[in-house]
Structure 1
């Protein structure tokens, strides 16, 4: 029963935290009716939900995805690079070079400028 004491203690702490947050929301929440809009904040939206965004936001999103994919590929590479050898090192530098070409292109096109 000794190993399960830590699990039981963690469950008690979690249950206490959940009950505490729920009690705080009941005590601190405003009373009465609220003018609840379509969002959880209750504020009315300033523009339509299908409004257009500037193309810069799409470029930033694509850059984020490129860097995110870089991390997804670099982690398994870092795990096996010692076993594979110099070939893996050359391939990773080729991959990073290709990504750097994309970053330099985005930089030259002004996708990283916020002015």
Structure 2
């Protein structure tokens, strides 16, 4: 008999990584919180396709010059998007996509 590991929150979860973007909304400059919008659970690190959601969030943050807040339990750390990507093993992919987005 095999036992199945319990599901845990997807790493890209809504409040694990977030970006605050100062943008024009209805004529007013306001701060908008951007996340992956994920509330999935999984037995892996990411729910299917959710690594791509997080990569997209990091790329958008990098293109816009925004810092990424990483929330883990009772700790909040703000980092450059490329640094977060490097910690996840995606530095080259994210750095290249950011460079293409700023041309």
Higher Rg: 1
Q: Scaled by the length of structure 2, what TM-score is found?
A: 0.25
**Structure with more of its chain in helix, by fraction:** 1
Structure with bigger RCO (C-alpha 8 Å, 6+ apart):
2
**Structure with more of its chain in strand, by fraction:** 2
